[in-house]
Amino acid sequence: MSPPLLQVKSLQKFFTMKRGFPNPETVTVRAVDGVTFDVQKGEAFGLVGESGCGKSTVGRGLLRLIEPDCGDVLLDGQDVLALNKARLQAVRRRMQIIFQDPYASLNPRRTVGQTLAEPMVVHEMGSRTEIHERVRSLLNEVGLQPEAVDKFPHEFSGGQRQRVGIARALIFQPDLVIADEPVSALDVSIQSQILLLMRGLQEKRRLSFIFISHDLAVVRYFCQRLAVMYLGRIVEQGTVTELFENPLHPYTVLLREASPIPDPQVRRDVPRIEAEVPSPINPPPGCYFHPRCPKAMDLCRRQYPPWRRLDASRGVACHLNG
């Protein structure tokens, strides 16, 4: 197997904040706590988990939109976290991001043509005519009409705006796109169109994706491998087939069972994931999942389970698999 395009090792990001009134105390949020994974060239790798599990912080940390505290991020062996500002700009061309809310990430006072042309003008990527042509070609590639070039973001539907967001991510012909909940703000019928578009781009351009989502059904469709995150840590990792057909971590089991099956003939009692997600400010002792885990044992309340690597792609952190 060729070396991974991206290697992430022991990535960590803690935030400190003030909490309480009238005597605020400083608290630490352990948003990302030792996350390790890699992404192959042309692969779609999923990061899944409930809201607040740290998956979006991982995505932003890889691009240094949020500066990680420590860890390694290697793109083709190049240490992204050690780069100065100028060299980081060059690497960011190779790693782009698609945001959940395309409307918030587009300038409402700029036409789509201006939004797409600006980075090319700044980086002197051709004459005005060549850039104009390139904008039209990008719009065509994401399924938008040429007339879209003169429209403002508010004149598009949510799905069309996300197509613009995808076009913007493609400007520099990246190797890796971080898609942060790219379809969760869209209607279900539109979701599938955007996923089809992204899959087509993945195959045509041999693009790698990190697909961040709370929705296991979407990840199942789009990704080849995935990591399940809980309170800032990866608790299970493997191929999509492995995690759906033979999940080892009780949290993965519950997420899978809570995910709808796209077949009206198949009925399944949907179990509830009991109790609230504990706070990343003050995670419980032992396994962070133990207050919600139907299989918790005494050991789980005392000791965080070590990461057990099962093969090249598979691993789990659970005492049941120790």
Binding site for ligand SF4 (CB under 6 A): 249-250, 287, 289-290, 293, 295-297, 300, 305, 318-320
Number of CB atoms found within 10 A of residue 86's CB: 7
* Closest CB 303 distance from ligand SF4, rounded Å: 8
Q: Is the separation of the CB atoms in 306 and 233 below 8 Å? A: no
CB of residue 280 to ligand SF4, shortest distance in Å: 16
Radius of gyration of the chain (CA): 21
Shortest spacing between CB 249 and ligand SF4, in angstroms? 6
CB closer to ligand SF4, 66 vs 299: 299
Beta-strand ranges (E) seen in 88-239 are 95-98, 176-180, 208-213, 225-230, 233-239
Cα(186)–Cα(166) distance, integer angstroms: 14
Instruction: Report, in Å, the least distance between residue 292 CB and ligand SF4.
Output: 8
Least separation, in Å, of the C-beta of 304 and ligand SF4?
A: 8
Contact 225, 204 (CB under 8 A): no
Q: 163 vs 319, which CB is nearer to ligand SF4? A: 319
64: left (phi over 0), alpha (psi -120 to 50) or beta: left
CB of 300 to ligand SF4, least distance (A): 3
Long-range contact list for 306-315, CB < 8 A, 24+ apart? 307/234, 310/238, 312/1, 313/225, 313/237, 313/238, 313/239, 313/242, 314/237, 314/238, 314/239, 314/242, 315/234, 315/236, 315/237, 315/238
What are the residues facing 180 on neighbouring strands?
A: 212
Of the candidates 245, 243, 240, 251, the residue with the CA atom closest to the CA atom of residue 273: 251
Is the CB of 170 or the CB of 254 nearer to ligand SF4? 254
Q: How far is the CB of 271 from ligand SF4 (least distance, A)?
A: 14
Report helix, strand or coil for 180: strand
The one-letter code for the residue type at 245 is: E
Closer Cβ to ligand SF4, 19 or 309, answer by number: 309
Cβ proximity to ligand SF4, 150 vs 298, nearer residue = 298
**Looking at beta carbons only, is 102 or 305 nearer to ligand SF4?**
305
Cα 261 from Cα 131, distance rounded (Å)? 44
Query: Of 35 and 235, which has the nearer Cβ to ligand SF4?
Result: 235
Measured from the CB atom, is 4 or 305 closer to ligand SF4? 305
CB of 293: closest distance to ligand SF4 in angstroms? Answer: 3
Length of the chain: 322
